[in-house]
Structures are given as structure tokens and as C-alpha cells.
């Protein structure tokens, strides 16, 4: 794990950015992970709760993090969805476009 709960403040009244986990894959890819948990799969479950707005905040956090690096490695955005006792890891769940 590289970072946990990486946050960027945007100022009073403006919603900041957050990345739950920043990890490095075996191949050197920097992985920005959004973790969502729901008690059960009702209403679409944990994965469905990663809205476009939440994706934008994660992408913004990733951009701020990457600005600290001299060389940008390959990157991807994963989602870890926890529904009850079931964990599902969704690699490349969304992209920065």
C-alpha cells in the first residue's frame, strides 16, 4: 500500500477529493482504489454506489497525487465492493475520461 485515505481539500463549501487506497500493482501500475460497503445487495449494491460524481472526486485526488511525482507510472481506477460478507474487486472499473 502506498497511501490510505488520501484527501485533498478544496476550500470552504467545496467538496474535496478522496482516494481510499493508493496501491502499486506487481507490474508497477499505480492503482487508485475506491472502497464501497453496503449491508446487502439491495438498491444495486456497493459497486452501483460508485456514482459518476464519486468517480470524479477520485480522479481529482489521483491528479493531485500524480502532480507530486516526477514520472507518471501507468495508472488505473479499481473498485472494491463489499456487499454483506461478499467482497468483489473490480479492476479498471472506470477511467479518467
Q: What is the pLDDT of residues 63-94, one digit of tens each?
A: 999 999 999 999 999 999 999 999 999 999 99
- For 20-48, write each residue's pLDDT tens digit: 999 999 999 999 999 999 986 667 799 99
CA-to-CA dists, residue 93 to 14, 76, 88, angstroms: 26, 8, 11
The residue written with cell numbers 481539500 in the block is: 9
CA-to-CA dists, residue 66 to 59, 60, 76, angstroms: 10, 10, 12
Check: CB of residue 2 under 8 Å from CB of residue 30: yes
The distance of Cα 26 from the centroid of its chain, to the nearest Å, equals: 18
Mean pLDDT of 9-21: 80
Highest CATH level, class, for 3-94: alpha beta
Cell numbers at 36, concatenated: 464501497
Amino acid at each position: 500500500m502506498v497511501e490510505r485515505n488520501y484527501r485533498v481539500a478544496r476550500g470552504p463549501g467545496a467538496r474535496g477529493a478522496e482516494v481510499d487506497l493508493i496501491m502499486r500493482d506487481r507490474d508497477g501500475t499505480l492503482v487508485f482504489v475506491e472502497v464501497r460497503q453496503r449491508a446487502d445487495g439491495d438498491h444495486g449494491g456497493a459497486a452501483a454506489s460508485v456514482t459518476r460524481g464519486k468517480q470524479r472526486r477520485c480522479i481529482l485526488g489521483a491528479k493531485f497525487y500524480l502532480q507530486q511525482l516526477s514520472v507518471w507510472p501507468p495508472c488505473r481506477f479499481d473498485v472494491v465492493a463489499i456487499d454483506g460478507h461478499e467482497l468483489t474487486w473490480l479492476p479498471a472499473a472506470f477511467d479518467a475520461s
